[in-house]
């Protein structure tokens, strides 16, 4: 018997799938008719009771092909369809089915991948615990490397994508499994942060902790991009490890930071981190839902399931959007305040350096600012190394320039540290 393997637009494994179909002999003709319409070449081994059909197809064609087979009862009423990754297909030929719709792997394959990564099992709990401990120690020690390492091992992407896929497919089991694992993982991370923060000797607030306590719209943007990338990777059937790190970056540090804020009795930090965490969770979910919808991921065959899934998607999507808008209101205010503060800081630094450099032998050592946005006033403390005292007229000039350019009433205090130069020349 001569075997033909039909290649696709790319003969590299991740874009190819090997299809093996076993059916009762009397149904062989039905399968052959379906496959002949696709244009792919295939091989058939007929036995007395069963037949086996083999072919290799592009990942984009697996879903439509399975749908056509299931319409005839193949893989649903009778027979079995096996799908596996083809490492290489030779010879290479250019071919694809004339199918419409978004390019993605089969829904059955997508479901399997997401379901496996959404389970609340022992490995998931262990990795969440290790990741949370590592993130807590990294935040308390102000160690960026440790925080990044915690993102690498955090398995948070699977459950959050599972809830989104469960919604679009109207699959209650997958939705509940993903939601359960997601909530458990985040609560465990918060608890780990609290315990580590309580036991850590002389624990104090670090810049890494503060960074997660003042959420901005840029943080929300990270979550949106991460959710989109994760859904695209799953539907394309390509590696998702790096995207998983991006998901963890949006979720793990803020979750741990909530626990640390509670342990340090800094409830402003706990509240800000919780706000960032919830916003990121909802943002990732809604973008994943949008990508699945654009990729035409929906229940197959059953018209009732399709209508139910569409209604469920609209309902949950609307609730998530409302939640994001509510949460983004204070984050938007925080973002606006941060932009104003950065602008004032840059202007202040520029003006101070311009005026101090005009003084012979003077150099700016340090600039500290305290900005009150409600009262619209600014206090600037300047430390200057100089060979002679700096006069009050310099402080007045700096204050007037800052007030004029920023609109904030400015008070300037200059502390001068006299520098004495001594030179010895033996000649």
Largest alpha-carbon pair distance within the chain?
113
Cα-Cα-Cα-Cα dihedral sign, residues 40, 41, 45, 48: positive
Residue ranges in the chain whose pLDDT is less than 50: 1-13, 94, 98
Side-chain-facing half-sphere of 223: CA atoms under 13 Å: 27
For residues 154 and 131, give the distance between their C-alpha atoms in angstroms, rounded to a whole number: 5
For residues 38 and 178, give the distance between their C-alpha atoms in angstroms, rounded to a whole number: 36
For residues 60 and 147, give the distance between their C-alpha atoms in angstroms, rounded to a whole number: 38
Given a contact cutoff of 8 angstroms between Cβ atoms, the answer to whether 51 and 1 are in contact is: no
DSSP summary character for residue 91:
S
Q: Do domains 13-85 and 339-418 have the same CATH topology?
A: yes
pLDDT of 404 reads 92
Q: How many helices (H) and strands (E) does the chain have?
A: 13, 7
pLDDT of 422 reads 67
pLDDT of 260 reads 95
What is residue 121's three-state secondary structure?
coil
pLDDT of 197 reads 93
pLDDT of 190 reads 95
Query: Which residues face 186 on adjacent strands?
Result: none
Tokens of 75: 């893989």
Element (H, E) at 57: strand 50-58
Element (H, E) at 336: helix 303-356
User: Could you tell me which residues come within 8 angstroms of residue 210 by beta carbon, excluding any fewer than 6 positions away?
Assistant: 269
pLDDT of 8 reads 39
* CATH entry 3.30.70.120 includes domain 13-85: yes
pLDDT of 12 reads 43
Query: In the chain, what are the domain boundaries?
Result: 13-85, 107-298, 339-418
DSSP annotation string for 379-405 = EEEEEEEESSPPPHHHHHHHHHHHHHH
What is residue 416's three-state secondary structure?
strand
Domain 339-418, CATH class in plain words: alpha beta
**How many degrees, rounded to 5, is the angle at CA 228 between CA 95 and CA 242?**
85
Separation in Å, CA 111 to CA 104, 158, 168, 187, 234: 12, 11, 11, 26, 9
Which residue in 364, 347, 355, 281 sits closest to 320, CA to CA?
Answer: 281
For residues 258 and 190, give the distance between their C-alpha atoms in angstroms, rounded to a whole number: 6
pLDDT of 186 reads 93
pLDDT of 4 reads 33
pLDDT of 49 reads 86
pLDDT of 333 reads 82
Which residue in 63, 91, 83 sits closest to 6, CA to CA?
Answer: 91
Phi first, then psi, for residue 75 (nearest 5°) are 85, 0
């Amino acid at each position: 018997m001569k075997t033909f393997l039909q290649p696709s637009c790319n003969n590299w494994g991740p874009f190819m799938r090997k299809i093996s179909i076993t059916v009762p002999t009397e149904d062989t003709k039905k399968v052959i008719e379906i496959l002949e319409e696709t244009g792919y070449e295939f091989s058939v081994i007929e036995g007395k009771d069963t037949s086996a059909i083999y072919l290799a197809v592009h990942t984009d064609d697996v879903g439509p092909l399975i749908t056509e087979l299931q319409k005839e009862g193949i893989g649903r009423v009778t027979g079995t369809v096996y799908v596996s990754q083809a490492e290489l297909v030779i010879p290479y030929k250019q071919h694809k089915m004339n199918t419409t719709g978004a390019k993605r792997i089969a829904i059955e394959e997508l479901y399997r991948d997401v379901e496996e990564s959404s389970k609340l099992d022992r490995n998931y709990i262990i990795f969440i615990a290790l990741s949370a401990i590592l993130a807590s120690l990294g935040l308390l020690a102000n160690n960026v490397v440790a925080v990044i390492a915690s993102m690498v091992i955090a398995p948070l992407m699977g459950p959050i994508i599972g809830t989104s896929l469960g919604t679009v497919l109207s699959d209650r089991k997958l939705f509940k499994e993903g939601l359960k694992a997601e909530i458990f993982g985040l609560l465990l991370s918060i608890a780990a942060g609290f315990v580590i923060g309580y036991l850590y000797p002389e624990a104090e607030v670090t810049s890494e902790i503060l960074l997660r306590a003042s959420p901005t719209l840029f943080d929300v943007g990270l979550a949106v991009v991460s959710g989109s990338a994760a859904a695209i990777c799953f539907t394309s059937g390509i590696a998702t490890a790096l995207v998983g790190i991006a998901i963890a970056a949006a979720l793990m540090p803020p979750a741990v930071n909530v626990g640390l804020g509670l342990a340090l009795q800094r409830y402003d930090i706990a509240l800000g981190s919780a706000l960032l965490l919830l916003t990121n969770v909802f943002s990732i979910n809604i973008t994943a839902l949008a990508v699945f919808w654009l990729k035409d991921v929906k229940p197959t065959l059953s018209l009732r399931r399709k209508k139910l899934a569409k209604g469920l998607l609209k309902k949950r999507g609307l609730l998530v959007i409302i939640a994001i808008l509510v949460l983004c209101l204070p984050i938007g205010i925080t973002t606006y305040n941060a932009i104003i503060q950065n602008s004032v800081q840059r202007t202040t630094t520029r003006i101070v350096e311009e005026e101090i450099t005009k003084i012979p032998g003077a150099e700016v050592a340090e600039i500290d600012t305290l900005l009150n946005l409600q009262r619209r006033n600014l206090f600037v403390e300047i430390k200057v190394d100089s060979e002679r005292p700096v006069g009050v007229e310099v402080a007045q000039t700096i204050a007037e320039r800052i007030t004029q350019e920023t609109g904030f009433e400015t008070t300037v205090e200059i502390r001068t540290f006299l520098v004495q130069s001594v030179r010895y020349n033996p000649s």
